[in-house]
Amino acid sequence: MTATQEALAAMAKAEQGMNSMIDDIVKSSETFVQDCKEQKKELFPTAFEQAQDRARENFEDFMQEREAGRDLDDSVSEAIWLLQKTDPFLAKHLNQALGKYRNNRVK
């Protein structure tokens, strides 16, 4: 093998090594980009996801208020029923207040 052939063989081998190194860098870069995208999703939710979270929280608050309103309505209704025989005047006013509450409450 002549010196020229040896030099060409060494260059071919070096080129293969460079190609392999470039392939590894490209794969690493693709992995890095993918990891960044996933991390971005975890760290910075989209506006749509934030809106969904706020809507879910608002709905949960609404349901809690609705349940509390029903509990209050039941308690006042029971108190009115108990007061009808002992203090009809107070029961009448409580009943009127309950009627106003029922007209204005979250349904």
Do residues 78 and 94 lie in contact, with contact meaning Cβ atoms separated by under 8 Å? no
Q: How far is CA 41 from CA 28, 34, 53, 70, in A?
A: 20, 11, 15, 40
pLDDT at residue 100 in the model:
83
Determine if the pTM surpasses 0.75.
no
pLDDT in tens, 16-29: 877 788 788 888 88
Residues 39 and 51 in one domain: no
Same domain for 15 and 50, yes or no, is no
Report the number of distinct structural domains present in the chain. 2
54/24 same-domain check: no
Token readout for 9 is: 């063989």
pLDDT in tens, 41-77: 666 667 777 888 899 999 998 898 888 888 888 888 8
Examine the domain organization and report whether 11 and 31 are in the same domain: yes
Domain carrying residue 36: 1-44
